[in-house]
Amino acid sequence: MDGYSRLVAWLKVLLPLMALMLLSTLFLLSRNVDPMATLPFADTEIDERLRGQQITSPFFSGTTDAGDQVTVSASTMATRNELNNEATDFSAQIDLASGARIILVADQGHFDLPANASRLQGNVVITTSSGFELASAELTAEFDTLVLESPGPVQGRGPLGTIDAGQMRLERKAAGQGAQLVFTNGVKLIYTPKIREE
């Protein structure tokens, strides 16, 4: 047997033995892991979940009596009591029967389910397919009858220019009619004319 064959024969024995030694040192020298210490929850988050029921990434879809499709989602929703359900990172998409679309986004949403009343707060943004993009600190909503109202100031832009108003209301006057966006309480419109391309 030549030297090369002898070397290969010894390596066939030595290499698996060295691999076993390395694996055994991994288990012998490894640290003990406390399974409770590795949970990815902060104490405040655990207390919050224990106080009330909470849903992660809730999603709801339905249709109003007039045929408008409403889709609502959030990051989390917690139930404080029957009259108070809170959602974070709230968003809603309303596809009107007329073909128009309204998108609502807010930091928080509060819902009184028996009264079918909702209150959106914190960086509320209303975007419509007709070209309006409006911002308000608070917005009340009745999704079944499609009534959206901002009790405070609204600022934003529309197809004609920038708008500032003390209040805003979106509602359908009668069944079968399209929804109307009405600004009241000191409306200021700065008209921006469209420039025609020659």
Query: What pLDDT, in 10s, does the model give residues 185-197?
Result: 888 888 887 776 6
Sorted by where each begins, the domain ranges of the chain are: 56-191
Query: What pLDDT, in 10s, does the model give residues 13-51?
Result: 888 888 888 888 877 776 666 655 555 656 666 666 556
Q: Are 181 and 132 in contact (CB under 8 A)?
A: yes
CATH assignment of 56-191?
2.60.450.10
pTM given for the model:
0.67
Q: Say how far residue 114 (Cα) sits from the centre of its chain.
A: 23
Three-state DSSP at 51 gives: helix
Residue 167: C-alpha distances to residues 124, 130, 136, 183 (Å): 14, 19, 9, 6
Residue 135: its pLDDT value, please?
93
Query: What pLDDT, in 10s, does the model give residues 99-144?
Result: 889 999 999 988 877 777 889 998 999 998 888 899 999 999 887 7
Cα separation, 119 vs 147, in Å, equals 12
Q: Which amino acid is at 136?
A: S
What residues does 60 pair with on adjacent strands? 72
- pLDDT-based confidence at 174, cuts 50/70/90? low
